[in-house]
Amino acid sequence: MLAPNFEFPVYEATEEGDEEIPDEI
Provide the 10 A C-beta neighbour count for residue 14. 13
Domain with 6, as residue range(s), is: 1-25
pLDDT for 24 beyond 60: yes
Radius of gyration of the chain (CA): 8
Range ranked top by mean pLDDT from 4-8, 13-17, 20-24: 20-24
Q: What are phi and psi of 11, to 5 degrees?
A: -60, -30
| pTM to 2 decimal places | 0.12
**Number of domains composing the chain:** 1
